[in-house]
Amino acid sequence: MVSEKDVQHIAELADVGISSGELGTFTHQFNEILEYFDQLDAVKGDAAAIKDLYNVMREDEIEPSLPQEEVLRNAPAQEDGFIRAPRVM
Amino acid sequence: MSGTSIRFEPDDTFNAFLTVCKRPTHTGGKLAGVAVAVKDNISTRGIETTCASRILKGYVPPYDAHVVELLRKSGAAIAGKTNMDEFGMGTTTENSAFGPTLNPCDTGRVPGGSSGGSAAAIASGMVRMALGTDTGGSIRCPAAFCGITGLKPSYGRVSRYGLIAYANSLEQVGPMGRTVSDVSTLMQVIAGYDRHDSTSLNKPYTHTPHAEIKGLKIGIPEEYFGEGVDPKVAASVKIAIGRLEELGATTVPCSIPSMEYALAAYYVTCTCEASSNLARFDGVRYGPAADTKKPWHEAYQEVRRAGFGTEVRRRIMLGTFALSSGYYGKYYAKAQVARENVRKDFQRIFADVDVIAGPTMPTIAFRLCEKSDPLSMYLADILTVPANLAGIPAISVPCGKADGMPVGLQIMGRHFEDERVIDVAYAYEQAVI
Amino acid sequence: METDVIVGLEVHCQLDTKSKLFCGCSTDYRSDGPNTHVCPICLGLPGAMPVLNKRSIEYAMRVAKALNCTVLHESEFSRKNYFYPDLDKAYQITQYDKPLAEGGYLEIEGDEGGEKRIRLTRIHVEEDPGRLVHMGNAERGKYSLVDYNRAGIPLIEIVSEPDMRSPKEARKFLNKLRATLEYLSVFDSDKEGSLRVDANISIKGSERVEVKNITSYKGVEKALTFEITRQKNVLRRGQKVDRETRHFLEARGVTQSARSKEQEHDYRYFPEPDLRPLHVRSWVEGIVLPELPDARRERFMAQYGCSLNHARTLTGELKLANFFEKVVVSDPKGLSMLAATWIADTLIGELNFRDMELDPVDPESFTGLVRLLKAGTITDKSGVEVLRVMLDQRLKQETPETPAGIVARLNLAKTKGDTGAITTAIEEAINENQKALEDYRAGKAGALNFLVGQVMKKTRGRADPGELNRMLAEALQKREA
């Protein structure tokens, strides 16, 4: 069982945000789904899949990079070739 | 781009397309001049790719997905980008930020999801072929609901490079088409090794469908005909299986006990992977602008709350919770064990049978807005997720109707036996033409 | 020596591969504009997928073998999820519960003398994030600019056990580690920002503090010294040391508490589904290690007769060791002793003073200088003068003269046989310094040396000090009479 406060915290951890109007319904649905997930507690065995493909690697070779304009093309804000982001502190 | 162009000006009353390429160019090759639609979560250079989400509105990829490159090389004309549930999260295409797609068989009903746009484009005759993606049934469900054919290939046979990830360990790009032959032809083009995809295998597909199934052993799992399945749908599928028996196949009853946990294992896995895959959307490098004057944490939350739909936010939060400190063992780790159990069950059954048959979906297409509760929506995937969990190939081919709406026959096969799955579907299709 | 100080280090080094860890972008980005070494993969564009660079694993395994680690049978990559503008996928592909290697050790010169073994916890491989530049001001609004050229550069992370007991030991550990990585040819320490250190410090019995953002070797010692003092002061005041993360501000030489937002991270690790696991333990056997610092040090002592201290200094940097061997190669027996002294005791100091790299110094020219000194053509003092001229010429990129040429031009050759001028200088010096004469007669020790100095001044250092000592002593004896 998670509380509305827990759901609020998760929304912040995931940076998705949740409005106060949604919180109640979200929490209720969340709990329903988590209860469904709890079925997994009964799953026996602890060996996960033996993966059959290993050591997939490539040679250390240089390939062309994107031209700077392509890198910046989709960025909403840029300055002198840098991409602009919100301030960190 | 050199080459000739075709004209593509469909009357899209079903909202199947998000972007239409009116004069797509093409070169020569296996699919020369054939108009192929591409689901909008597959990157196309120079063509807006949104995953039906506001958070990618205006995003124009500077590169093609590997499968799109292969399409172009084969001479196909990329007709446009099709509508879908936002980021692949949904079973009805109602979760699109740009309006739902309507089912051409009944515009009061959903086309299925998440590749609803691709399915509707084919069902309505706008295109013969389209690319879809299948994470938990997203090709097979709309194929069944719209009365067309769709294949989820074996995991690793088709490159995921350029597919905007929802759940990396579950999803595949796959062919959808009017007929099994269309699907097989498209599979010839897109399957094969890609060095850009570390999970890609060297298993090209060069098959032409054969209708010969004498001696084939078909497993019929009791879980696929249980109480959750609409009796009329079950009846349609049983008749179809009867047809296969007439063609020389024999049926063997079987059981998949691990299916009890399959849906939970699926939703834990996909929400966890999605919560990580979708964290990159923050309005800095692409998408609607973050307010760079605000502190970053605040700016990110703003962009993401406005840009993601409710279902997407829900799944991101579920995944974030399931991966958070202390819960990894309870959820994600356990889900992988449940998954391995599903895989083992299939392995056991495939020791005695060649393919498994059953309905694709438990019901016919829902009415628009019928499913409003998320959990009841998730439960609709129960028959399709096992194939994703196990990585095995699965196809949906139309088999009659129930209450006037198409029903899908699902054929599943051993890992890498996509050819056999195609053959069984082809045999059925040819028998009822 | 503080025995209650406990220090552990986490060292991140950029591996010197040609292309990035998960894509083919060139790693040689430092002299190019922002966002010019970027592709869909390292930019984290939706749909792009990582493919592992084999050489980065080969390099990391060389390090693991050299540091005596155990390579795991199966290792895998994991996602470390957090939000930050320089992390374009909002997760870093790293290694969490199945790293490349565990255990191992590095031996350093202990503070109390002798060798000390610093144990290692683990070694793993991960990608570097991009680089943030902070802009703006309070009025116009602050924001950040991001350059993703660095995103995806392969890093090796080496984690030590908390076996160090002082800032000095930490510095030695770091230097030894750096040298080892250089010798393995997997790391270029000249590249700016190629090495970053996080330190964990505690005073026995108190909480552990993590200090991040140390980007220079000197910085490590400074940061640790400051932090130890800070913690001790806190304890002296009867308070508790908080368990926290602090940042090192190099310019001010202090550590500062990081904002709480950065502290409580839940990274939600899970295995990277787009990459396959590694089974590379079998590669270890086939790895041939080059001569490592310790072995080279022993060889310098045996082969060239270097003292332990000189050998340690010379082998402490790959370039320096190579330089020494090039200088003496034409006559190891004859040149080694002098070359070792002059390189370890003089050259390094002169380079540091000029903030100059070793690279522009021509080994053959240096050999020439050593030969002049060996032959007694110039005094040590003149030798230093010649060296300075040689270095300055290289630094300023002027046409370099040979050492012999400099000696000739500046007339620095020892005045052997020109005792006339020296005798005059001696007489003058004694006459001008009566007190020194009296001191000498009184048996005061420093008097002779003082007078030697005076004569050296007069002869501009060209008199041989040994000779001078003898001649002055004679002259002073005569005066006594």
B75-84 per-position pLDDT tens digit: 999 999 999 9
Phi, psi dihedral angles at B110 (to 5 degrees) = -80, 155
| Number of residues written out for chain A | 89
Tens of pLDDT, residues B228-272: 999 999 999 999 999 999 999 999 999 999 999 999 999 999 999
Residue of higher predicted confidence among C410 and B384: B384
- Which subunits have 3 or more CB–CB pairs within 8 Å of chain B? A, C
Tens-digit pLDDT profile for residues C95-117: 999 999 999 999 998 878 788 99
Neighboring chain A residues of C152 at a CB cutoff of 8 Å = none
Average pLDDT, chain C: 91
Residue A49's pLDDT is: 65
* Distance separating alpha carbons of residues B315 and B267, to the nearest angstrom: 9
Please name which of B40, B17, B38, B34 lies closest in space to residue B77, comparing C-alpha atoms: B34
Inter-residue contact B247 to B431 (CB < 8 Å): yes
Mean pLDDT of the region B101-113 = 98
- CB-nearest partner of C89 from B164, B280, B292: B280
CA distance B210 to chain A (A): 31
8 Å CB contact between C115 and C109: yes
Residues in chain B: 433
User: In this structure, what token pair is assigned to residue B187?
Assistant: 């599979």
Architecture of the domain made up of C419-480: Orthogonal Bundle (1.10)
Residues A19-40 have a mean pLDDT of 93
Give the pLDDT band of residue C1 (cuts 50, 70, 90).
very low
Indicate the pairing of strand B25-26 with strand B4-5.
Answer: antiparallel
Q: Does A17 fall in a domain?
A: yes
B282 close contact with C: CB closer than 8 A? yes
Percent of chain C with pLDDT over 90: 69
Q: How far apart are CA B381 and CA B379, in angstroms?
A: 5
| Confidence label for C5 from pLDDT (cuts 50, 70 and 90) | very high
How long, in residues, is chain C? Answer: 481
A73 falls within a domain: no
Q: Note down the domain range covering A17.
A: 4-41
pLDDT at C415: 67
- The answer to whether residue A25 is domain-embedded is yes
Radius of gyration of chain C (CA): 29
SS3 for C142? strand
Q: Can you tell me the distance from the alpha carbon of C352 to that of B368, in angstroms, rounded to the nearest whole number?
A: 76
d(CA B225, CA B217): 18
> Which contacts (CB < 8 Å, 24+ apart) does range C302-307 have?
C303/C332, C304/C328, C304/C332, C304/C336, C304/C340, C305/C336, C305/C337, C306/C336, C306/C340, C307/C340
Q: What is the pLDDT of residue C263?
A: 46
Q: What is the mean pLDDT of residues C323-350?
A: 95
pLDDT at B192 over 50: yes
pTM: 0.92
Please tell me which residue, C244 or A47, carries the higher pLDDT value: C244
Whether C263 contacts chain A with CB within 8 A: no
Shortest alpha-carbon distance between residue B295 and chain A (Å): 5
Question: Does the distance separating the beta carbons of C47 and B43 come in below 8 Å?
Answer: yes
**Cis previous bond, B114, omega within 30:** yes
Average pLDDT, chain B: 96
The active-site residue, picked from B138, B200, B236, B275, is B138
Task: Please give the average per-residue pLDDT across B117-121, as a whole number.
Answer: 98
CB B422 within 8 A of CB B187: yes
Residue of chain C minimizing CA distance to A79: C145
| CA torsion, ordered C341, C345, C350, C356, to nearest 10 deg | 90
The answer to whether B211 touches B424, Cβ cutoff 8 Å, is no
User: Which helix (DSSP H) or strand (DSSP E) does residue A85 occupy?
Assistant: strand A82-85
Among A41-45, C70-74, C367-371, where is mean pLDDT lowest? Answer: A41-45
* CA distances, C404 to each of A23, C359, C411, C416, C461 (Å): 85, 21, 10, 17, 17
pLDDT at C262 over 70: no
The SS3 assignment for C352 reads: helix
Q: Do B306 and B197 meet the contact criterion of CB atoms below 8 Å apart?
A: no
B162 close to C (CB below 8 A) = yes
Please state, in angstroms and rounded to a whole number, the distance separating the CA atoms of residues B269 and C77: 17
Burial annotation B46-79 (CB, 10 A radius, 16+ → b, else e): ebebbbbbbbbeebbbbbbbbbbbbbbebbbbbb
Q: Which residues of B touch C88 (CB under 8 A)?
A: 280, 285
- With bands split at pLDDT 50, 70 and 90, how would you rate the model's confidence at C2? low
Q: How confident is the model at residue C140 (pLDDT cuts 50, 70, 90)?
A: low
Which token pair is B89?
């999260």
The answer to the question of residue A22 being in a domain is: yes
Q: Which residues contact B218 (CB under 8 A, 6 or more apart)?
A: B241, B244, B245, B249, B250, B251, B252, B353, B354, B355, B356, B357, B424
The amino acid sitting at C401 is E
Mean pLDDT confidence for C83-101: 96
pLDDT confidence bin for B2, thresholds 50/70/90? low
Residue ranges of domains in chain B: 1-433
pLDDT at A45 exceeding the cut of 80: no
Q: Which of B201, B282, B320 sits opposite A13 (nearest CB)?
A: B320
C460: left (phi over 0), alpha (psi -120 to 50) or beta: left
Are C156 and C123 within 8 A, CB to CB?
A: yes
CB contact under 8 A, B197 and C46: no
- The residue from B53, B96, B114, B124 that is catalytic is B114
Residue C303 structure tokens: 């082969």
Task: Confirm whether B138 is a catalytic residue.
Answer: yes
Chain B partners of C269 at a C-beta cutoff of 8 Å?
323, 328
* Residue C145 sits at the chain B interface (C-beta within 8 Å): no
C53 has a chain A CB within 8 A of its CB = yes
Instruction: Tabulate helix, strand, coil % of chain C (nearest 5).
Output: 45, 20, 35
Give the mutation candidate from C20, C22, C25, C35 for the A interface (greatest A CB count, under 10 A). C35
Backbone φ, ψ for residue C407 (5° rounding)? -55, -45
Q: Among B95-104, C118-127, C418-427, name the one with the lowest average pLDDT.
A: C418-427
| C90·B169 Cβ contact <8 A | no
- B1-433: CATH topology is Amidase signature (AS) enzymes (3.90.1300)
Number of independent structural domains in chain A = 1
Mean pLDDT of C86-95: 97
User: Does C89 sit within 8 Å of B285, measured CB to CB?
Assistant: no
What does the alpha-carbon distance between residue C448 and residue B201 come to, in Å, rounded to a whole number? 86
Beta bridge partners of C108: C116
* pLDDT at residue number B257: 96
Name, in order, each residue with C-beta under 8 angstroms of B373's C-beta and a sequence gap of 6 or more: A29
- Give the contacts of C481 (CB within 8 A, at least 6 positions apart): none
Interface contacts (A, C; CB < 8 Å) = 118
ipTM of the complex: 0.96
C-alpha–C-alpha distance, residues B206 and B202, integer Å: 12
| Contact check, Cβ <8 Å, A11/B60 | no
Contact of C26 with A63, CB cutoff 8 Å: no
Is C35 within 8 Å of chain A by CB? yes
The reply to whether residue C25 touches residue A63, judged by beta carbons under 8 angstroms, is yes
Nearest to C183 by CA among C69, C297, C71: C297
Which residues, 6+ apart, have CB-to-CB distance to A22 below 8 Å?
Answer: B310
Residue A65 has pLDDT above 80, yes or no: yes
Distance of alpha carbon B64 from alpha carbon B77, whole angstroms: 14
What would the mean pLDDT of B212-234 be, rounded to a whole number?
97
Model confidence at C259, pLDDT cuts 50, 70, 90, reads: low
CA-nearest residue to C136 within chain A is: A87
Q: d(Cα C257, Cα C235) in Å, to the nearest integer?
A: 17
Query: Cβ of B84: how many Cβ atoms within 10 Å?
Result: 33
d(CA C449, CA C436): 10
Interchain CB contact of C396 with A (< 8 Å):
no
C145-162 pLDDT, tens per residue?
999 999 999 999 999 999
pLDDT value at C416 more than 70:
no
Return the domain boundaries, chain C.
5-286, 293-410, 419-480
Q: How many CB atoms lie within 10 A of CB C258?
A: 17
The answer on pLDDT for B425 being more than 90 is yes
With bands split at pLDDT 50, 70 and 90, how would you rate the model's confidence at C448? confident
Amino acid at residue number C402: T
Residue of A4, A22, A40, A55 to mutate when probing chain B, most B C-beta within 10 A = A40
What does the alpha-carbon distance between residue B272 and residue B280 come to, in Å, rounded to a whole number?
A: 14
Question: Across chain A, how many H-helices and E-strands are there?
Answer: 3, 3
Q: What 3-state class would DSSP assign to B243?
A: helix
Indicate whether A71 belongs to any domain.
no
- pLDDT tens track for B293-325: 888 888 889 999 999 999 999 999 999 999 998
User: At a CB cut-off of 8 Å and minimum separation 6, what does B311 contact?
Assistant: B85, B86, B89, B90, B95, B374
Interchain CB contact of B104 with C (< 8 Å)? no
